[in-house]
Amino acid sequence: MAIVVLIFFLVIGSALGYHIYQRRKNSILEDRLTMDLDETTAKQVLFLPTQCQEEVEGLIEKFTSMESNLDLNELKSLVDNNANADRLSNAIKGLKQHIVLPEVQELRELSVEAYVVEIEGTMRDYVKVIVNASQQGHDAVSKTEELLKQIDSIFSLVDGLRHIADQTGLLALNAAIEAAKSGNVGRTYSYMAKEVQRLSAQSENFGGDIKTEMQKAK
């Protein structure tokens, strides 16, 4: 949801910049206005999508400070949201320190149209970031699925171990029965059969413990 909101504001910022450009183009050409954008702020425009809306509001402040007849309330109505209108005013106050009027020195000219192009480039960069994050998530899911397959393979091995333990226990039981039939002669075999049966039970319990722990990991 947050990503959708960010992209929405980027689109609104682009539309707002282009709207201002169309309405004030003649005035800009006649007055030969120039705008200075601090290098650090320019980098922020290119690499931090969250500042796109603030930069657009800085552009509004630029025209307002040069006594344009553009009504700020009219620009606020383009957003059509009270919360965004408040954010508009706050952004203007916070961006004043980055704006220098070209009254002292001549600086490079940055047109509104070029600014809109920068915003569009930022949007493309942001989409690339989203795509990369999505790819990383897909890779993580693939690795998780592979791990689950390995766990299932271990389950199969544990089941095989328990099956062998069951068969060993059955053979030990049969050996104990045969030893009992042999009387005194079969006592030694009876003892061995009991030990084999005990080992079989331990193996089965061990396999069960492994399966329980692997089930928790899964």
Return the pLDDT at 116.
Answer: 60
Last residue in a domain, options 133, 168, 187? 133
Same domain, 17 and 82: yes
pLDDT digits (tens, 9 = 90+) for 119-153: 677 667 767 777 777 777 777 777 777 777 777 77
What is the pTM for the complete model shown?
0.34
Same domain, 87 and 169: no
Same domain, 116 and 18: yes
Last residue in a domain, options 111, 133, 155? 133
Same domain, 52 and 7: yes
pLDDT digits (tens, 9 = 90+) for 20-35: 555 555 454 444 433 4
Last residue in a domain, options 72, 102, 133? 133
Same domain, 156 and 73: no
Domain limits for position 176: 147-217
Same domain, 109 and 190: no
| Domain total of the chain | 2
Same domain, 17 and 95: yes
Same domain, 33 and 126: yes
| Secondary structure (H, E, C), the chain | CHHHHHHHHHHHHHHHHHHHHHHHHHHHHHHCCCCEECHHHHHHHHHCHHHHHHHHHHHHHHHHHCCCCCCHHHHHHHHCCHHHHHHHHHHHHHHHHHEECCCCCCCCCCCHHHHHHHHHHHHHHHHHHHHHHHHHHHHHHHHHHHHHHHHHHHHHHHHHHHHHHHHHHHHHHHHHHHHHHCHHHHHHHHHHHHHHHHHHHHHHHHHHHHHHHHHHHC
